[in-house]
Amino acid sequence: MWAESGSQALEILRAAARAGDPIRLMVLDHHMPEMDGETLGRLVKQDSEIRNASLILLTSMAEIGAARHFESLGFSAYLVKPVRSTILFEVLATAWAYETAALPRRGLITRHSIAEAQSAALEASQRRRTSEGDAGEEVDADDCIASGSVAR
Secondary structure tally for the chain: helices H, strands E? 5, 3
pLDDT digits (tens, 9 = 90+) for 11-39: 999 999 999 999 999 999 998 878 999 99
Q: Is the pLDDT of residue 84 over 60?
A: yes
Q: b/e string for 8-36 if b means 16 or more Cβ within 10 A?
A: ebbebbbebbeeeeebebbbbebebeebb
Cα 139 from chain centroid (whole Å)? 26
Comparing CA positions, the residue from 122, 123, 117 lying closest to residue 147 is 117
63 three-state secondary structure = coil
Rounded to an integer, the average pLDDT of 56-68 is 91
Q: Which CATH architecture has domain 6-109?
A: 3-Layer(aba) Sandwich (3.40)
Q: Can you give the residue ranges of every domain in the chain? A: 6-109, 110-152
Work out the pLDDT band at 134, boundaries 50, 70, 90: low
